Amino acid sequence: MSVLAILLTAFVALLHLGFLMVLEMFFWTRPLGRKVFRLDPQVARDSARLAMNQGLYNGFLAAGLAWGLWLGDKGICLFFLGCVVVAGLFGAATVKRSILYVQALPAIAAAAAVHYF
């Protein structure tokens, strides 16, 4: 894989590990999580268990990307980047449009770099 493909894929993995997994699992009901996700305190408390589960899935995506990078396996990287793209498109269609830019587009760019470079 090219340096560009590795960097973009690592960026997507770090985004899912640091931003999504940690925020959703550990900071959902805290001021930082409520600010990032624009939640009022009651909604955050009511949805905290769902957010923890969602965060865990984001951690699995990050782990899969890290695994593919570790092995230098384009197929594994493309599979997990594809999962991120689908999740990002679905989130953009059902939750809010900004998910397209934060989640799907970086994964599309990384997948293109992995595939073509």
What residue ranges do the domains of the chain occupy?
Answer: 3-116
**3-state secondary structure (DSSP) of residue 40:** coil
Looking at this protein, which amino acid is placed at residue 104?
Answer: A
Amino acid at 31: P
- Give pLDDT tens digits for 47-63: 999 999 999 999 999 99
pLDDT digits (tens, 9 = 90+) for 69-106: 999 999 999 999 999 999 999 999 999 999 999 999 99
- Answer yes or no: are the C-beta atoms of 53 and 89 closer than 8 Å: no
Residue 86: CB partners within 8 Å, gap ≥ 6? none
Cα 26 to its chain centre, rounded Å, is: 16
pLDDT of residue 19: 81
